[in-house]
Amino acid sequence: MSDEIVLEVGAEGGSLAVFGERIAEGKWRFRVVRDEISFRELLSDEDLEGLVLFELGDYVPSFQDALKLLDRYPWFRLYPLVVHPDFLDLVLSGVKKRGGTEEETRWREMLKRRSHS
């Protein structure tokens, strides 16, 4: 089975994503990916020393666990790139819980614009 993007958010220089793998009928497992590879082009070799620009996390058993891992970053303030339709309500609920109604409204508007483009 292969991973599907469940949630991807972007900012200048990189993205955060939650990938999900269907492991049984109605069952998923999730992992977080941090990708800041584009910084390689912007920084000197000296500045890059010791930086980890790509991180693939271990699988966790629930989407809520994956969101907790994302909470190391202000993910709900970033630009939504992909939201899997099966997880839209959970994502928007997570955004509202962390950023309030204003952030949820911003996400809804951005996602609506993306679906029309």
> What crossing angle do the helices spanning 88-116 and 63-70 adopt, rounded to 10°?
70
Those residues with Cβ within 8 angstroms of residue 36's Cβ, 6 or more apart along the chain or in another chain: 13, 14, 53, 54
Q: What are 34-47's pLDDT values in tens digits?
A: 876 555 566 556 65
Task: Name the pTM for this structure.
Answer: 0.82
Domain count, the chain: 1
How far, in Å, CA of 95 to CA of 40, rounded? Answer: 30
Q: Select the highest-mean-pLDDT range: 9-13, 55-59, 113-117.
A: 55-59
How far, in Å, CA of 95 to CA of 9, rounded? Answer: 12
Q: List the domain range (segments joined by +) for residue 109.
A: 4-116
Average pLDDT, the chain: 86
Higher pLDDT, 25 or 87: 87
Do residues 16 and 73 lie in contact, with contact meaning Cβ atoms separated by under 8 Å?
A: yes
State residue 35's pLDDT score: 78
